[in-house]
Structure 1
Amino acid sequence: MTVTVILGGHGRVGLLIAKELSKKEDNEVVSIFRNPDQTAEVAATGAIPKIMNIESATVADFVEVFKGADFIVWTAGAGGKGAPSRTYAIDRDAAIRSMQAARQVIGIKRYVMISYLGSANAPQLDPTHPLYHYGQAKHAADKYLIEFSGLNYTIVNPGHLSDDAASKKLEFHAKPFNAKDRTASRENVALLVTDLITDEKALNHTLGKEVEILDGDTPILEGLRSL
């Protein structure tokens, strides 16, 4: 049985990933979320609901929920909403604590970070940009994962997310300057993460890579296997 822990289990992407992974044979999903009122909705995906406030969770707290996991998927975040301090607390600090915890747990095959297309360029953002603090927080978390975590990782960098139905096709190696007026469907992102976790060739070809995507013309599994 392959076990995946999703951090941000009640987010729109988290719910979709849990639903897709739960359809796969011999896959178990544990979804982490904060609000007990959301338990039924999370459970409806087929995931095992687990309530934890990741903003205040310690490394030890993360270690406890990661025990027995094969994959960690980070899709939590403040989403640029609220005070900048909360954005840094979740998108940077809590994410890094989760990485530190994953490093302590034996058996984790991959840490999958859902970031965004253009994260690498965040230090160049104008401080007055509405997503400045979000960009800095995500950039710092991605940098830690790549340079300091010691984990086997994949970073998924989708363009602006949409609620369009899954086309099951993406453009890979997407560039931020090509992303204007283009999107990445949340359903396509969920399918990509599911294929990454459940297909051995896709898993091997995405090790230590950033997967930059927009909706496009390449079948998702084909694109992952060709990276």
Structure 2
Amino acid sequence: MSHNVLLIGGHGKIAQLLTPLLLARSWNVTSMIRTADQTAAIEKLGQGQPGKLNVLISSVEDVKSEGDAQKILEQVKPDWVVWSAGAGGRGGAERTNAIDRDAAISFTKASIHTPSVKKFLTVSYISSRRNKPSWWTDKDWTSAQKVNNEILPTYFKAKVAADEVLTVLAKERFDEEAEKGVPENERFAGISLRPGTLSDEKAGGIIIGKIGSQGKISRATVAEAIRAVLETEGARGWIDLLDGQEDVSEGVKRVVKDGVDSVEDEDFEAMKKNAAKL
């Protein structure tokens, strides 16, 4: 079945690696980019692919509300949305909050409140959580705390806020659809894909699921993982991953089959209160 994918942050490194993978599945991709001078680089990614590639020039910095995001969804009409945008540390705290928190949350809310959107996948990072998971070592937690509180404090607060809004609202929609008798495989899937430190190595295998916080993963492998998660029925929730030996598709299928969700050990009631403020 063909799908229409809105890829937000289409000029980013992961997004450019992901675009041909999605098109190769005969899925149609609308790559949302910031400026017209990025168009040529994106259009090259669609050459010779069975899926159709469209380019949408629209800066995420202009998305200030759910309504702004909704207008873009109405224009593109996607059934899947992938958030791969980010301030990238440029522009200071104000820009980080505008993109990684506010625009991300606006697209999350708009997507979940649009019945025709069936999946929303955000690219987060492995340390984006408030509580120490039971499967982490003290060293894992110390390392994550250093990143979140000392190295990237504004980014952490922005990303964890967006992750929590996605988690809470996705569960609400999933439960509402369950009450209406919608089959489980047709209910909304909210996905937070959570890689470790990114590298530019070639694509390889993964370790995935309830894993530690320390380690690297190549952007090419992350792109492969996004493709695998999108095409795996039942994939939802928080998915942590690092470089490893397991085949990407097999690893994704395994954690989905086993019902592994790395959101475990987070405080859902606290999440609801946090999300309600945003």
Tell whether the 8 Å contact from 1:80 to 1:133 is kept in structure 2 after alignment.
no
Tell whether the 8 Å contact from 1:77 to 1:90 is kept in structure 2 after alignment.
yes
Residue aligning to 1:193: 226
Higher mean C-alpha deviation, range 76-85 or range 29-38: 76-85
1:197 & 1:106 partners in 2: Cα distance? Answer: 18
CA 1:163–1:20 in 2, change beyond 3 Å: closer, same or farther? same
Paired residues for 1:36-55 under 5 Å:
36-46=36-46, 47-55=53-61
Tell whether the 8 Å contact from 1:79 to 1:134 is kept in structure 2 after alignment.
no
Matched-pair identity in %: 30
Q: CA deviation at 1:124?
A: 5.1
CA 1:37–1:126 in 2, change beyond 3 Å: closer, same or farther? closer
Tell whether the 8 Å contact from 2:127 to 2:148 is kept in structure 1 after alignment.
no
1:55 & 1:48 partners in 2: Cα distance? Answer: 20
Unaligned runs of 5+ in 1: none
Is residue 2:132 matched to residue 1:120? Answer: no
Q: Which of 95, 108, 114 lines up with 2:117 in the alignment?
A: 108
Residue aligning to 2:67: 60
SS in structure 2 of the partner of residue 55 of structure 1: helix
Is residue 2:207 matched to residue 1:171? Answer: yes
Residue aligning to 2:233: 203
Task: Choose 1 or 2 for highest CA Rg.
Answer: 2
Residue aligning to 1:226: 254
Q: CA deviation at 1:28?
A: 0.3
Alpha-carbon RMSD: 1.9
Residue aligning to 1:4: 5
SS in structure 2 of the partner of residue 108 of structure 1: coil
2:194 & 2:130 partners in 1: Cα distance? Answer: 12
Tell whether the 8 Å contact from 1:70 to 1:109 is kept in structure 2 after alignment.
yes
1:116 & 1:91 partners in 2: Cα distance? Answer: 12
AA aligned opposite 1:188: T
1:125 & 1:78 partners in 2: Cα distance? Answer: 20
Residue aligning to 2:134: none
CA 1:99–1:79 in 2, change beyond 3 Å: closer, same or farther? same
2:148 & 2:30 partners in 1: Cα distance? Answer: 37
Q: CA deviation at 1:90?
A: 0.6
SS in structure 1 of the partner of residue 160 of structure 2: helix
Q: Which of 138, 145, 148 lines up with 2:169 in the alignment?
A: 148
Q: CA deviation at 1:80?
A: 2.6
